[in-house]
Amino acid sequence: MTDDGAPLQLLDRGYRAIMRQVVETATAPHFTALAAELAIPVEQARQLSHELVSITPGWMAPETDLFASFPPFNLQPTQYRVSVDGVGGWYAQCGLEATAVRWLFPGKTIRVEAPCLCCGEVMVVEMHDEEIVATEPAEIVGYTSDVIGGSAESRPFR
Protein backbone atom coordinates (compact mmCIF):
# COMPACT_ATOMS: atom_id res chain seq x y z
CA MET A 1 0.00 0.00 0.00
CA THR A 2 1.25 3.51 -0.78
CA ASP A 3 1.04 6.27 1.84
CA ASP A 4 -2.36 7.63 0.81
CA GLY A 5 -3.29 5.99 -2.43
CA ALA A 6 -3.80 2.71 -4.17
CA PRO A 7 -1.77 -0.41 -3.40
CA LEU A 8 1.45 -0.48 -5.39
CA GLN A 9 0.48 -3.64 -7.25
CA LEU A 10 -2.75 -2.00 -8.38
CA LEU A 11 -0.83 1.08 -9.54
CA ASP A 12 1.39 -1.23 -11.60
CA ARG A 13 -1.58 -3.03 -13.10
CA GLY A 14 -3.41 0.19 -13.84
CA TYR A 15 -0.39 1.85 -15.41
CA ARG A 16 0.28 -1.23 -17.50
CA ALA A 17 -3.32 -1.44 -18.71
CA ILE A 18 -3.48 2.22 -19.68
CA MET A 19 -0.09 2.28 -21.36
CA ARG A 20 -0.79 -0.93 -23.25
CA GLN A 21 -4.00 0.49 -24.69
CA VAL A 22 -2.37 3.78 -25.63
CA VAL A 23 0.50 1.99 -27.36
CA GLU A 24 -1.84 -0.37 -29.21
CA THR A 25 -4.66 2.02 -30.12
CA ALA A 26 -3.55 5.62 -29.46
CA THR A 27 -6.51 5.95 -27.09
CA ALA A 28 -6.76 5.70 -23.32
CA PRO A 29 -9.42 3.68 -21.54
CA HIS A 30 -12.33 5.31 -19.78
CA PHE A 31 -12.22 4.54 -16.06
CA THR A 32 -15.25 2.26 -16.40
CA ALA A 33 -13.31 0.15 -18.90
CA LEU A 34 -10.31 0.23 -16.62
CA ALA A 35 -12.52 -1.00 -13.78
CA ALA A 36 -13.66 -3.94 -15.87
CA GLU A 37 -10.14 -4.83 -16.97
CA LEU A 38 -8.72 -4.67 -13.48
CA ALA A 39 -11.82 -6.20 -11.85
CA ILE A 40 -12.15 -3.34 -9.38
CA PRO A 41 -15.08 -1.06 -8.49
CA VAL A 42 -15.76 1.80 -10.89
CA GLU A 43 -15.08 4.51 -8.30
CA GLN A 44 -11.77 2.91 -7.39
CA ALA A 45 -10.79 2.92 -11.08
CA ARG A 46 -11.71 6.60 -11.37
CA GLN A 47 -9.52 7.47 -8.40
CA LEU A 48 -6.75 5.23 -9.72
CA SER A 49 -6.80 7.08 -13.04
CA HIS A 50 -6.27 10.41 -11.30
CA GLU A 51 -3.54 8.99 -9.08
CA LEU A 52 -1.66 7.56 -12.05
CA VAL A 53 -1.68 10.78 -14.07
CA SER A 54 -0.35 12.63 -11.05
CA ILE A 55 2.53 10.17 -10.82
CA THR A 56 3.50 9.78 -14.46
CA PRO A 57 3.14 12.93 -14.71
CA GLY A 58 0.30 13.59 -17.10
CA TRP A 59 -3.02 15.37 -16.71
CA MET A 60 -6.75 14.95 -17.08
CA ALA A 61 -8.89 17.22 -19.23
CA PRO A 62 -9.83 20.02 -16.80
CA GLU A 63 -12.75 19.25 -14.47
CA THR A 64 -13.18 15.76 -15.93
CA ASP A 65 -12.11 12.17 -15.35
CA LEU A 66 -10.89 11.86 -18.94
CA PHE A 67 -7.25 11.30 -19.76
CA ALA A 68 -5.72 14.18 -21.68
CA SER A 69 -2.05 13.31 -21.36
CA PHE A 70 -0.27 10.11 -20.45
CA PRO A 71 3.42 10.58 -21.16
CA PRO A 72 5.07 10.26 -23.53
CA PHE A 73 1.71 10.46 -25.29
CA ASN A 74 -1.06 13.01 -25.47
CA LEU A 75 -4.61 11.81 -25.95
CA GLN A 76 -5.71 15.18 -27.26
CA PRO A 77 -3.96 16.19 -30.47
CA THR A 78 -0.79 18.21 -30.11
CA GLN A 79 1.44 19.54 -32.87
CA TYR A 80 3.67 16.47 -32.40
CA ARG A 81 2.22 13.85 -34.74
CA VAL A 82 3.72 10.41 -34.26
CA SER A 83 3.73 7.48 -36.65
CA VAL A 84 5.08 4.00 -36.00
CA ASP A 85 6.45 2.07 -38.98
CA GLY A 86 4.34 4.34 -41.17
CA VAL A 87 1.11 4.04 -39.17
CA GLY A 88 -0.11 7.30 -37.61
CA GLY A 89 -2.58 8.20 -34.90
CA TRP A 90 -0.46 9.02 -31.87
CA TYR A 91 0.52 12.40 -30.49
CA ALA A 92 3.43 13.15 -28.19
CA GLN A 93 2.89 15.07 -24.97
CA CYS A 94 5.59 17.55 -25.98
CA GLY A 95 8.57 17.89 -28.25
CA LEU A 96 10.99 16.43 -25.74
CA GLU A 97 8.78 13.49 -24.73
CA ALA A 98 8.44 12.80 -28.46
CA THR A 99 12.01 11.49 -28.33
CA ALA A 100 10.98 8.96 -25.65
CA VAL A 101 8.15 7.38 -27.64
CA ARG A 102 10.66 4.99 -29.26
CA TRP A 103 11.20 3.10 -26.00
CA LEU A 104 7.61 1.82 -26.16
CA PHE A 105 8.00 0.51 -29.72
CA PRO A 106 11.25 -1.47 -29.73
CA GLY A 107 12.50 -2.38 -33.19
CA LYS A 108 10.16 0.04 -34.93
CA THR A 109 10.76 3.35 -36.68
CA ILE A 110 9.20 6.35 -34.99
CA ARG A 111 8.54 9.43 -37.09
CA VAL A 112 7.59 12.73 -35.46
CA GLU A 113 6.28 15.55 -37.62
CA ALA A 114 5.61 18.96 -36.14
CA PRO A 115 5.35 22.56 -37.21
CA CYS A 116 7.85 24.97 -35.68
CA LEU A 117 6.03 27.25 -33.22
CA CYS A 118 8.02 30.20 -34.54
CA CYS A 119 7.48 29.92 -38.29
CA GLY A 120 5.04 27.05 -38.87
CA GLU A 121 7.43 25.20 -41.16
CA VAL A 122 7.41 21.43 -40.69
CA MET A 123 10.15 19.56 -38.86
CA VAL A 124 10.70 15.80 -39.02
CA VAL A 125 12.53 13.53 -36.61
CA GLU A 126 12.93 9.80 -37.20
CA MET A 127 14.18 7.43 -34.52
CA HIS A 128 14.79 3.71 -34.31
CA ASP A 129 15.67 2.35 -30.88
CA GLU A 130 18.98 3.95 -29.88
CA GLU A 131 19.46 5.83 -33.12
CA ILE A 132 18.22 9.20 -34.31
CA VAL A 133 17.87 8.21 -37.94
CA ALA A 134 17.07 11.59 -39.46
CA THR A 135 16.25 15.18 -38.57
CA GLU A 136 14.91 17.70 -41.04
CA PRO A 137 16.23 20.31 -40.79
CA ALA A 138 19.46 19.14 -39.19
CA GLU A 139 19.51 22.17 -36.86
CA ILE A 140 16.37 21.22 -34.86
CA VAL A 141 16.60 22.18 -31.20
CA GLY A 142 14.50 21.40 -28.16
CA TYR A 143 13.63 24.06 -25.62
CA THR A 144 11.70 24.34 -22.39
CA SER A 145 10.70 27.73 -21.07
CA ASP A 146 10.40 26.49 -17.50
CA VAL A 147 11.63 23.74 -15.22
CA ILE A 148 10.80 20.24 -16.40
CA GLY A 149 8.86 18.54 -13.65
CA GLY A 150 7.64 21.83 -12.18
CA SER A 151 4.21 22.49 -10.76
CA ALA A 152 1.33 20.31 -11.90
CA GLU A 153 -0.68 23.36 -12.94
CA SER A 154 1.97 24.41 -15.45
CA ARG A 155 2.40 21.01 -17.10
CA PRO A 156 0.42 21.77 -20.27
CA PHE A 157 2.12 25.14 -20.73
CA ARG A 158 5.86 24.52 -20.57
Partner 1 sequence: MNLFRSEAHARRWDGFNPKMAHAIKPIAEWADTFANPFFRERGRADYISWTRSDDGVAAFRALRSSLPLPADD
Q: Which residues of the shown chain bind partner 1 in the complex (CB under 8 A)?
A: 8-9, 11-12, 15-16, 19, 23, 52, 55, 72, 80, 94-100, 103-104, 106, 114, 116-119, 121, 123, 125, 127, 130, 132, 135, 137, 139-149, 158
Amino acid of residue 151:
S
17 vs 35 by CB, closer to partner 1: 17
Helix axes 31-38, 42-55, angle to 10 degrees: 110
Instruction: Give min distance, CB of 70 to partner 1, in A.
Output: 10
CB of 45 to partner 1, least distance (A): 16
Q: Which is nearer to partner 1, 148 or 152 (CB)?
A: 148
- Least distance (Å) from partner 1 to the CB of residue 74? 12
Measured from the CB atom, the residue of 76 and 144 that comes closer to partner 1 is 144
Residue whose CB is less far from partner 1, 60 or 100: 100
Query: H or E stretch including 132?
Result: strand 131-136
Q: By C-beta, is 39 or 117 nearer to partner 1?
A: 117
Contact of 124 with 135, CB cutoff 8 Å: yes
Query: Cα(58)–Cα(92) distance, rounded to whole angstroms?
Result: 12
Residues present in the chain in total = 158
**3-class secondary structure, 129:** coil
Q: Taking the complex as a whole, how short is the minimal distance between the CB of residue 30 and partner 1, in angstroms? A: 21
26 Cβ contact list (under 8 Å, min separation 6): 73, 89, 90, 91
Comparing CA positions, the residue from 149, 142, 111, 141 lying closest to residue 127 is: 111
Task: Give min distance, CB of 78 to partner 1, in A.
Answer: 10
